[in-house]
Amino acid sequence: MRKRVVRVALTAALVAVALLAVPLAVALRSSFYAGQRDTLERAALAAAVRVSPDYATGDPVELPHAPAGGRLGLYDPQQRLRAGSGPLAGDIPIRRALAGEVIRERSGSDLVAAVPVSHAERVIGVVRASSPADAVRDRVLAAWAVLLGVAVFALAVAVLVARRQARMLAAPLEDLSRHCRAVADGDLGARAAPSSVAEIDQVARTHNTMLHSLSELLRRERDFSTNASHQLRTPLTGLQLALEAGLAQNDDALLRPVLAEALDTTHRLHRTVEEVLRLSRSPERPRPAAGDTAVAELLREAEERWHGLFAADGRRLECGTRDAPRDARVPGGPVGEVLGILLDNARVHGRGTARVGVRDLDDALAFDVSDEGAVEGEPAHLFGRGHTGQSDGTGIGLALARDLAVSLGGRLSLTSRAPATFTLLIPVHRAGSWTRPPAGE
């Protein structure tokens, strides 16, 4: 910005100097030449009044001094030099002056003023005053040099003033840019300081107000998720304990499976709450240290959980447990949550048979969840929070699944629109290739 301000100021100064200096230079040149012609004319007039009509009969003529560096002479009607100095034979200005006119023009390399001498209404001679045109030209060049020096000085002053103004304008903007970078790096407490420029101060105040509102919004959202997760954990723990006690004390063959399923549901809900709490507490979402669940076991759990729901809708669920690598382990909690969200999405929005497959990519695993339906609309909007295909939906599921995938160091994407296929790609740990660090490290 500083360079741009200096360039703009220098351009404006150049235009102003050019608009002022060029006409002034032309005016100076015209003034010097006109002044020299006036000087010559005055000298010729002063000599003409001293010429006696008897000079033609031999009466001597006393002419005044010629202009500095010039010549002054008297010529008779035959254009012969009778007194003073000048060319011996008359030239064009003398011939024209014999007609009774005062002549001011250039003759060769001289500036000439020719004044007729009259007596009894007739011209009896001509006084010619001249000076070299080069002398006037040198004076003009000297004046132009002074004018150029003044223009250069004015431009130098303009550059200095522009640089100072550029520093005054750029410093607050640079400070505001540093605060914006600090905010982008996660420092929501950064605030822009006031400056001496009212317009920049207005931008800074707007920035600070926006940042304050954003900080408050984020704080309220994080507090809500933290409070909600904390408050849910206590009743969930109590419900788990009650179900475990009921399962231990009840021998009813019909009731025990129901209690066992309810206990598993509370365990899954507890893990979901923990994952939501972890995401709300960790804006940078660090990757978990290592996997803790075998892929085949994770797929069996998903099949057991979702098989009944799909069957109730008259649909099939196929999980490719046979293709799951036996030496790969993944974080069971977050990966199970993502698969659950994708299967629920397939159950609600898809149709036909739903399938869960696994592809081994050496250092990563790709979980493919597909059905026989098709995805409508723009794929980029699917993972936007609040986007939903139903009027009673919340549009949170796929956005939460994407956030969970990112927290694992992986990604979630739509790999096929028809049939609808979502792919979860995450890094994995092979059995025997990772050792859990000792406690405390």
> pLDDT at residue 144 above 90?
yes
Q: Are 226 and 273 in contact (CB under 8 A)?
A: no
Sign of the alpha-carbon torsion through 318, 323, 326, 327: negative
Asked if 69 and 135 count as a contact pair (C-beta separation under 8 A), the reply is: yes
Query: Which DSSP helix (H) or strand (E) runs through 137?
Result: helix 133-184
Specify the pLDDT at position 441. 36
DSSP letter for 80, please.
B
pLDDT of 9 higher than 90: no
Task: Let me know the angle formed at the C-alpha of 282 by 279 and 284, rounded to the nearest 5 degrees.
Answer: 110
Spell out the alpha helix ranges (H) of 197-313. Answer: 198-249, 255-281, 295-312
Q: What is the pLDDT of residues 14-67, one digit of tens each?
A: 888 889 989 999 999 999 999 999 999 999 999 888 888 888 777 888 888 888
Q: What's the confidence (pLDDT) of residue 228?
A: 62
Domains of the chain and CATH, by start = 2-148 (3.30.450.20), 198-281 (1.10.287), 293-430 (3.30.565.10)
Tokens 């199970």 belong to which residue?
A: 336
Please give the Cα distance from 342 to 427 (Å, whole number): 19
**pTM for the predicted model, two decimal places:** 0.47
**What 3-state class would DSSP assign to 103?**
strand
Q: Which residues pair with 74 in a beta bridge?
A: 83, 127
Strands 317-319 and 354-360: parallel
On the question of pLDDT at 111 being above 90, the answer is yes
Share of the chain above pLDDT 90, in %: 22
Band (pLDDT 50/70/90 cuts) for residue 1 is: low
Is residue 118 a contact partner of residue 124, using CB atoms and an 8 Å limit? yes
Residue 113: pLDDT band with limits 50, 70, 90: very high
Which one-letter amino acid corresponds to residue 403? D
State yes or no: pLDDT of 287 exceeds 60.
no
Contacts of residue 224, Cβ cutoff 8 Å, sequence gap at least 6: none
Phi, psi of 83 (to 5 degrees): -160, 160
What confidence tens digit (pLDDT) does each residue in 366-396 have? 999 999 988 876 766 777 765 565 544 455 7
**Per-residue CA distances from 302 to 3, 309, 337, 339 (Å):** 63, 11, 10, 8
Is the C-alpha dihedral spanning 349, 350, 351, 352 positive or negative? negative
Q: What is the pLDDT of residues 225-246, one digit of tens each?
A: 666 665 565 556 656 666 676 6
Q: Which residues, in sequence order, are CB contacts of 220 under 8 Å at separation 6+?
A: none
